[in-house]
Structure 1
């Protein structure tokens, strides 16, 4: 089984509008040998919301990333910038 690791974390902070938001996307293994595309978003400092899409293997999850990268482009156009996240 080949591992296709992917992680994206962007945030937008605008103090004049009291805005501090994040958006995160990652591919992680699930408990059944498949892969999960996990997307999280919300206000920085909160748990936010989460959506998990399950796939049968890493290759299928990596292929799905292509369909979701338009979200990353939209976030960039709206002022989100990549950040290091641990």
Structure 2
């Protein structure tokens, strides 16, 4: 089954940080979930954990090249 998984770390308006996950089947809208943290370290730890988990399950890492 063709699936996608997106992981993003975004700053909030009040100094907090959000880890945003977006997943689903390719061609569909999918689902999203946000995890909010007061500091960057918690967000980076969660993002690293989720990334390693998805890579173990067979997802590939596609990073867009800079223009």
Q: Same fold (TM over 0.5)?
A: yes
Match of 1:82 among 34, 50, 61: 61
Pairing 1:52–2:34 present: yes
Shift in Å, 1:84: 4.8
Superposed CA RMSD in Å reads 2.0
CA distance in 2, matches of 1:84, 1:65: 15
Unpaired runs of 5+ in structure 2? none
Looking at structure 2, the residues matched to 81 and 70 of structure 1 have their Cα atoms a distance apart, in angstroms, of 11
Q: In structure 1, list runs of 5 or more residues that go unmatched.
A: 1-18
**Higher Cα Rg: structure 1 or 2?**
1
| From 14, 18, 30, the counterpart of 2:12 | 30
Give the structure-1-normalised TM-score: 0.59
* Count of aligned residue pairs for this structure pair: 64
TM-score normalised by the chain length of structure 2: 0.71
